[in-house]
Amino acid sequence: MSWEQELFSVYETQCGREFDGEDGLPKISHSTANAQIQITLNNNGDFVEARKLSKEEGQNTPIQVTEDSASRTSGDAAMPFADTLEYIAADYPKYVDGKDGDNSKKFSLYIEQLKDWSESEYTHPAVNALYSYIKKGTVIADLVRCGVLSVDETSGKLDNSKTDTKQQQKSFVRFRINGIDEPETWKNNALSEKFIDYYNQLLGEPVLCYALGKVLPPAEKHPSKIRNSGDKAKLISTNSKLNNKQNFVYRGRFSNDKEAFSVSYEFSQKMHAALKWLIRRQGICFDNSLTSIIWASTMEKLPDVYCKGLPEQDDDDDDPFADETEVDVQKSYSELLKKRIFGNKSEITFNSKVMIMCVDSATQGRLSVSFYDELQSSAFYNNLVKWHEEIAAVRGYGKRAKINSFSVYEITNYAYGTETSKGFDCKAEVRKDLILRLLPCITQGRKLPADIVRAICRKASNPLAYEEKYNNHRKVLETACGLIRKFNIDRKEGVTTMAYDKNETDRSYLFGCLLAIADAAERNTYEKDEKNNRVTNARRYWSVFAQRPWTTWKIIAEKLLPYLDKTNEYGRRTGLRYEKMLNEIMGKLTISKYANDSALDPNYLLGYHHFTAEIYKSNNNDNKNEEE
């Protein structure tokens, strides 16, 4: 089915269900608003008290809406019940200066609409009480008297104080009415049902709904506030008037806009309500714009596709992969990964569907579907496991070394971000584009784009670009190795291991091993306080080495000799050990490979990373043997 039908299906199957600790689906003809003020009345419409609301209290307050008010931006359209002060306060001009103080049109729209509802057969005691109070025209006076709003002592007008983050004259007001079945009107189901019945009889003549295939009252306007209560962007937006000419868009093709496209009010409300609910319940927002939701047709809880394969571990935590061979480590990682992703297998319905949807707005008023896919649950879970298995790498060295995959945030920051005092940061536009390109690789099992691998390899090949020379560069290098490994698996060629492979004869991989030995051998001679300040020759010549390895290696090797001869706490034996490593790698390089001065491919980064981990492992083993 299409995303519209899937969202409609969510509403039909989930509406009315209770969720532990969570709000259920909103009713049709309802939306949410961030309220800053709460006024309490009795059932006769007399003022009782008022107070300011905290941001948490007033956030996402359910309210009744009409088509016009639900989609209002700069135009005038009154809410049916709760609204802002400029709509509900007859005494607004008395307290607000100048042109902004003229709210006569807005108040007229609000009071006439409330009166019509109050006098209809669908009225409710709360509506009657509120209408009685609003007619008195003392809303702002009551709020000033209670100290909720403050005025300038000289002019008597509202001052520049704020309620929460809004100017006080722009505050949204909700109502509590004592003496009725549910005093908190935003939670009153009977009031909500009365409004739905009242509003349905005001809708236009039925036409064919293109979504449901039924003849139903059409939706003239569609809801906004999809991603949050301040969101003005709409998924469906049509204009039948252009340049003050009626039906200008349809001239010569259709007699009216309904013949071109028509969606019923019921379908639009339910589809948008389901989308809003899913976003608030499980949506992930990137840079306050791109919003992603993933849901199952059974509404079971799904794993986060954007995070790492395994949760972050503290350095003091026991390593689950300690004292295991590489094959055992990969097997253990895979088992832990499947346990995290699949969880309790009895709760997973493998014949259900999983929907993945991303929405974003290029402008303030238009929301687009940037990505949509639906697949069987079994394919979704298997592709997710496949992604985290193939992109995994050794992270950290020595005792802190752990195997894990990489989150989407890490990939975007390290491949296209810049180093800051707090880590890495990536431009919002770049991050959004990259996430949309990585999502099919994660959920559909598609191949990793080559340009992403090239981008992070360029970053990893320039260690001198980072202020924290050994920490931040290591993060970039590890991520690059995970992407290179995934890229090689996709192409079914190149190095695909997670650790050093002594049987590997790839030219680039072996040159990377040489670079790791030179780096470790020189750094091993540094004093403790020098290790974070001095830069080894291997790192200094790194970027040139990647382009001309044979020529550059001769320089690095020559500069390495004094460090191999230098004595330290381990004595001459340490230098001999590094020489042995160099001879081992050199022995695998044929003359044709060694004397080839062409640029190295990304596998050299795997060689460096793998052999560095091997050196740390060897050092740890030596330390253990000496202790014994």
Q: With respect to residue 428, please indicate whether it lies within any of the assigned structural domains.
A: no
Rg of the chain over CA atoms, in angstroms?
A: 33
Query: Which residues have CB under 8 Å from 94's CB, separation 6+?
Result: 140, 141
Among 157, 176, 191, the domain-final residue is 191
d(CA 482, CA 308): 12
CA 86 distance to own-chain centroid: 35
The domain of 107 spans 34-191
Hey, what amino acid is at 527?
E
Q: Would you state the pLDDT for residue 363?
A: 81
The number of distinct structural domains making up the chain is 2
Hey, what amino acid is at 564?
L
Q: With respect to residue 437, please indicate whether it lies within any of the assigned structural domains.
A: no
d(CA 128, CA 142): 19
Q: With respect to residue 52, please indicate whether it lies within any of the assigned structural domains.
A: yes
Q: With respect to residue 529, please indicate whether it lies within any of the assigned structural domains.
A: yes
Q: With respect to residue 515, please indicate whether it lies within any of the assigned structural domains.
A: yes
Q: Would you state the pLDDT for residue 628?
A: 42
Those residues of the chain that have pLDDT short of 70 are: 1, 19-22, 238-260, 313-329, 344-350, 398-399, 468-470, 567-575, 620-628
Q: With respect to residue 405, please indicate whether it lies within any of the assigned structural domains.
A: no
Q: Would you state the pLDDT for residue 319?
A: 47
Q: Would you state the pLDDT for residue 387?
A: 96
Q: Would you state the pLDDT for residue 371?
A: 95
Q: With respect to residue 40, please indicate whether it lies within any of the assigned structural domains.
A: yes
Among 160, 191, 222, the domain-final residue is 191
CA distances from 340 to 344, 388, 439 (A): 9, 11, 20
442 close to 305: Cβ distance less than 8 angstroms: yes
Hey, what amino acid is at 540?
R
290: which strand partners?
286
* DSSP per-residue string spanning 401-415: -EEE---HHHHHHHH
pTM: 0.82
Q: With respect to residue 600, please indicate whether it lies within any of the assigned structural domains.
A: yes
Structure tokens at 492: 């079914």
Hey, what amino acid is at 156?
G
Structure tokens at 527: 């004093």
Q: Would you state the pLDDT for residue 623?
A: 52
Helix axes 472-491, 377-390, angle to 10 degrees: 120
568-627 pLDDT tens trace: 555 556 668 888 999 999 999 999 999 999 999 999 999 999 999 999 887 765 554 444
d(CA 540, CA 463): 8
- Residue 446: strand, helix, or coil: coil
For 206: left if phi > 0, alpha if psi spans -120 to 50, otherwise beta; the answer is beta
Hey, what amino acid is at 60?
N
